[in-house]
Structure 1
């Protein structure tokens, strides 16, 4: 096998021409397509990163909203407990005031009825005294013992009626 410089030069020139043609017509568009694909992949990676960050932000917002809702619910429950305690205290206070008022009314009613009974008793005693005096005058008894008997008898009669 012989080495020929002419073949080598011819092969080298053919390779350079082929490389120039491939670079101009094949490699350029091929590299352009590959570059566009690389940019598309980088863009999709960036969009995925942004989407993941947005999802993380959304998850944090949801956690905060849930925590706030729990806090609000707890506050509402505590406020309801305080309100019910205040209402219970108010109801008890009103009941005590009503009991005192009813007691005072009852005492006044009792006092009024007592005064009426005393007044009625005085009137009955007055009537009885008048009757006793009239009976004593009718009899004209001069002995002290007889007068006392008449008073005792009349008091028994009056006592038997009531």
Structure 2
């Protein structure tokens, strides 16, 4: 004989097909609602976030590449600027040396010109001094000679000397 307790236990533990169908339908409805209102928006947000992160990574990579390019350009420009600055310095040194040599040559030429001018001036002054001295000597000689002649010559001798001189002057004409 069957024990009535077994039926009660079966009813309590047992699977009721109607309840299972209702629960399955509710699960499907809940799954559809979650999919429509939660899962798709969540997936859309996740996809947008993934795209945003991918874009940020791409942008960061592009910025890094651009920074490297700009840094290389800046280094090249700095190198070129340094080369130009060195060239300018070298040119300035060459110019300074050539100007220095030119100034030294000009100074030497000017000193030589001044020296020559002074030498010519000294020579002219010497000639003037000699001429003045000769003139003075001549004048003094004439004065001395006239004094000596006046003292030593008599009037007759002076007349004779004058006549001889006049004759020589007349002959030379």
- For 1:73 and 1:58, the matched residues in 2 are separated by 22
User: 1:138 aligns to what?
Assistant: 150
| Structural mapping, 1:148-159, within 5 Å | none
Structure 1, gaps ≥5 residues long: 142-162
Structure 2, gaps ≥5 residues long: 1-9, 154-173
Q: Deviations over 1:21-63 (max 9, x none)?
A: 4433332222111111111111111111122122112212221
- For 1:110 and 1:20, the matched residues in 2 are separated by 129
1:46 is matched with which residue: 33, 42, 58? 58
User: 2:114 aligns to what?
Assistant: 102
2:72 is matched with which residue: 46, 54, 60? 60
Tell me how many residue pairs correspond in the alignment: 140
Greater RCO (CA < 8 Å, at least 6 residues apart)? 1
- For 1:133 and 1:28, the matched residues in 2 are separated by 151
- For 1:89 and 1:63, the matched residues in 2 are separated by 39
Return structure 1 stretches of 4+ with deviation > 2 angstroms.
9-27, 138-141
TM-align CA RMSD: 2.8
> Are 1:121 and 2:133 matched, yes or no?
yes
- For 2:76 and 2:22, the matched residues in 1 are separated by 73
Q: TM-score, normalised by structure 1?
A: 0.71
Q: How much does 1:93 deviate?
A: 1.3
User: 2:168 aligns to what?
Assistant: none
User: 1:31 aligns to what?
Assistant: 43
